[in-house]
Structure formats: C-alpha cells, structure tokens
C-alpha cells in the first residue's frame, strides 16, 4: 500500500544528533480499514478504498451502512481510494497501519489549506501597494490600474484582483519522515503541512 489517510495534530520540534532543532508536524496516520477493492474487470482500474476514523452508525445513511457492513467494518468518516498495481495482496476488512512508512522516507501530503476569507491584492498576490506618503489619499493597499480605457474596454480574464484566499486543495511534496510511532499511530514529518489542526490529510510515498 502506497498511502494512508491521516489527521493533523499540530506542530512541535525535535532535536537532531548534532543538536539542531527540526520543526515537525505530528499526524495521526491510520489505522485505515480496507473497505473495497476496485478491479480492472469490474471498475476499469485497480485501487484499494480505505476508511479512516470511526463514525456513529446513526449518522450514516442506509446505503453507506450496507457498504461498510459488506466487509464487516464499522462506519468511517473519511473514504479515499489509492491506486495499487497488485491488489491481490490486500484483503477487505483488514487494517493498514502507519508502519508502511519508515524513517527518512519521502512523502507527499495533500490537505485543504486554511481559509483566509475575502482578502485584498496585497495579501492574496503579494502586491506592493501604493505610496505611503507624498499626498497619497486612500490608495495605500489598492491594486492600481486593471486595464485599458478605450481598447479593449474590458478587464482580461484571470486578472489578479481581490477575492477569497485559501480553503483549496494543496499538496506538499517530498516531506521527510522523521519518526514513526506504531503504538500511537503517529507520523512525524519535517516541516509544515496544509490545513488546520484536526484537518484530514492524504499521505502517499513520493
């Protein structure tokens, strides 16, 4: 299995052998139950569907309850498919644990970034803004000109302007695994990962 579903716990730091501080993100990674296997004959591709984190049965609709009961696992909050070349080695109902990763492995982590709401061009795009003095009046954080007057008499699509920031899918690539704790299902990776504490993450090997 090349990946797991996890939940971001928070950030801390560890100290390396030479005493340097290493910023790490703590992730509750798995255990994930194998809920379904996708086959080439039936679905057109090979994949394994994993479920993460138990959910109360009365919070799941009847078709979804049947989907979990078919393989004898409790309802899960998060489902995600992972492509696999050889799905015969995986058995529905079994668990995949964090020990599929080892220290010094490189992983790609996908999550939903923090939503910042409606923001101006300086925060959203890094614009410099207007002059701070010399008679400037209410122009300090404005974007400036956004187009021509007579021709083409419109604003081009894709123009960098104010708008909503964040709350979009982001992938951080080649993050190094610093530590794996199988007893508590924890994965410690170097650096920051997308999203807020408690947000769900998809972890795959690079």
For the chain, the straight-line distance linking the first and the last C-alpha, in angstroms and rounded, comes to 13
Distance in angstroms (rounded) separating the CA atoms of residues 60 and 73:
13
Summarize pLDDT for 1-36 with one digit per residue, the tens. Answer: 578 999 999 999 999 888 899 999 999 997 999 988
Please state, in angstroms and rounded to a whole number, the distance separating the CA atoms of residues 85 and 203.
18
Interstrand relation of 200-205 and 21-29 (parallel, antiparallel or unpaired): unpaired
How many helices (H) and strands (E) are present in the chain, helices listed first?
Answer: 3, 12
H or E element at residue 80 = strand 76-83
- The pLDDT tens digits of the residues spanning 45-100 come to 888 899 998 888 888 889 988 988 888 888 989 999 998 888 878 888 788 889 88
- Please report the pLDDT score of residue 1 as a whole number: 57
For the chain, what's the residue count? 206
Q: Which residue has the higher pLDDT, 174 or 72?
A: 174
- What percent of the residues of the chain are helix, what percent strand, and what percent coil, each to the nearest 5? 15, 40, 45
If pLDDT is split at 50, 70 and 90, which confidence band does 38 have?
Answer: confident
What pLDDT shows up at residue 169? 95
Q: What is the pLDDT of residues 94-131, one digit of tens each?
A: 888 898 899 889 999 999 999 999 999 999 999 999 99
Residue 193 near residue 173 (C-beta atoms within 8 A):
no
Note the pLDDT of residue 159.
94
Domain tally, the chain = 1
Tell me the C-alpha to C-alpha distance, in Å, between residue 160 and each of 17, 140, 145.
46, 17, 11
SS3 track for 2-68: CEEEEEEEEEEEEECCCCCEEEEEEEEECCEEEEEEECHHHHCCCEEEEEEEECCHHHCCHHHHHHH
pLDDT tens column, 128-169: 999 999 999 999 999 998 987 888 888 999 999 999 999 999
- Exposure string over 175-205, b if 16+ CB within 10 A, otherwise e: bbbbebeeeebbbbbbeebbbeeeebbbbee
Going by C-alpha positions, the residue among 180, 204, 27 that lies closest to residue 103 is 180
pLDDT of residue 87: 81
CATH code for the domain of 32 = 2.40.30.10
Range of 89's domain? 3-205
């Amino acid at each position: 299995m090349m990946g797991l579903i996890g939940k971001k716990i928070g950030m801390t730091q560890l100290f390396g052998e030479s005493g340097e501080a290493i910023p790490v993100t703590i992730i509750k990674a798995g255990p994930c139950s194998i809920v379904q296997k996708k086959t080439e004959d039936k679905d057109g591709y090979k994949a394994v569907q994993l479920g993460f984190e138990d959910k109360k049965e009365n919070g799941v609709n009847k078709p979804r309850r049947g989907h979990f009961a078919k393989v004898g696992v409790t309802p899960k909050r998060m489902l995600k498919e992972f492509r696999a070349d050889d799905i015969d080695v995986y058995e529905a109902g079994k668990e995949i644990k964090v020990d599929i990763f080892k220290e010094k492995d490189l992983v790609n982590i996908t999550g939903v970034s923090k939503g910042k709401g409606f923001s101006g061009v300086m925060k959203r795009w890094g614009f410099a803004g207007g002059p701070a003095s010399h008679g400037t009046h209410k122009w300090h954080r404005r974007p400036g000109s956004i187009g021509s007057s007579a021709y083409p008499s419109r604003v081009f699509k894709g123009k960098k302007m104010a708008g909503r920031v964040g709350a979009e899918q982001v992938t951080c690539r080649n993050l190094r695994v610093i530590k794996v704790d199988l007893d508590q299902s924890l994965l410690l990776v170097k650096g920051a990962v997308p999203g807020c504490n408690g947000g769900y993450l998809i972890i795959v090997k690079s």
